[in-house]
Amino acid sequence: MQRRSFLAGAAAALALGPAAPAGAEPVKVRIGVGGKPLLYYLPLTIAERKGYFKEEGVEAEINDFGGGARSLQALIGGSVDVVTGAYEHTIRMQAKGQDVRAVCELGRYPAIVIAVRKDLAGTVKSAADFKGRKIGVTAPGSSTALAAQYAMIKAGLKASDAPLIGIGGGAGAIAAMKKGEIEVISHLDPVIAKLESDGDIVVLVDTRTEAGTRALFGGPNPAAVVYTKQDWIERHAVGTQKVVAAFAKALKWLAAASPEEVADTVPAAYHFGDRALYVQAVKNSLESYSRTGIPSQEGMTSVYELVRTLDPELQGTKIDLATTFEDRFIRKAMG
């Protein structure tokens, strides 16, 4: 997916609710995301389209990358200020001595689905059969890749037993499966919903629900969060609060919204030409969004164990998980 930038101010016609107080200087924030149309990142699109950034006095420049790992690279490289990405990235960065912290949970379940190409369903019946199979993920190193690798390890394989192929987060991901370029896919809605509806895949693992998440990870597993560098938080405490407040409004809206209302709010291009299918995809994923904006301690520990299992460099490390999540902003925003 090509990198795209959106200025929230340009979406004024779509903004609902009051703008920032007259005379207030807007806070300019560059936000990175790894596949904006994916439902994994829906709270970001809602905050943008409902005008919540503008209400909070934030001029949000949203930069869309092909996967979460690339968004993280952009943060470390300094080309974005804040990222909506997987919580596990904060643990990895802490282990490397980089003080990166989440400030708001967006997804309480990963909502990642692992599926096999339908013509291979008789041969590939579980993750134990993934050896040597080409697995499509949003990007190597992203949460979709980690989920596939973890499923293989649980099934008795090594994380390196199958090649991971980056297919992005949009229409290209659908095409990769339809063209036979991949045999297994670890991905998110609406990509999964489209492939499932067209009869292209058979689902093997589904973490869109609490039950499915526990089946793979053995417990809760927080997914998308809003994270940034600690020094940025210190230098921009007011801006951080404004950004988190916008996301808090998005989470509250999603908790009460119908799938049809979500479909009406996002850009039509997100529907992949099938609005009814998008509505169904939202229905499948609504349970996965955070209700409080704060991950549970059990969930944070679960992700830590996942990362330590997959990354030899992290085995034996001890990280204070309190350093991976700064909750004061979301607590204030949620009241």
Residue 196 has a pLDDT of: 95
Residue 122 has a pLDDT of: 97
Q: Do both 194 and 228 map to the same domain? A: no
Q: Which residue has tokens 């990175």?
A: 32
Q: The CATH number of the domain where 182 resides is what?
A: 3.40.190.10
Residue 103 has a pLDDT of: 98
Instruction: Report yes or no: 91 and 311 within 8 Å, Cβ to Cβ.
Output: no
Mark 253-278 as b/e (b = at least 16 C-beta within 10 Å): bbeebebeebbebbeeebbbeeeebb
Mean pLDDT of 53-73: 94
Q: Do both 56 and 82 map to the same domain? A: yes
Residue 24 has a pLDDT of: 61
| Amino acid letter for position 69 | A
Q: Does residue 195 sit within a domain?
A: yes
Q: Do both 229 and 322 map to the same domain? A: yes
Listed residues 206, 237, 252: the one ending a domain: 206
Structural domain for 39, as ranges:
4-109+222-334
Considering the entire predicted model, what is its pTM? 0.84
Q: Do both 150 and 247 map to the same domain? A: no
Compute the distance between CA of residue 251 and CA of residue 14 in angstroms, rounded to an integer.
18
Q: Do both 117 and 161 map to the same domain? A: yes
Q: Do both 320 and 254 map to the same domain? A: yes
pLDDT tens column, 115-160: 999 999 999 999 999 999 999 999 898 889 999 999 999 999 999 9
Q: Does residue 213 sit within a domain?
A: no
Q: Do both 118 and 88 map to the same domain? A: no
Q: Do both 126 and 96 map to the same domain? A: no
Tally the domains of the chain: 2
Distances, alpha carbon 182 to alpha carbons 43, 70, 116, 127, 281, in Å: 29, 21, 9, 15, 22
pLDDT tens column, 256-278: 999 999 999 999 999 989 999 99
Q: Do both 118 and 102 map to the same domain? A: no
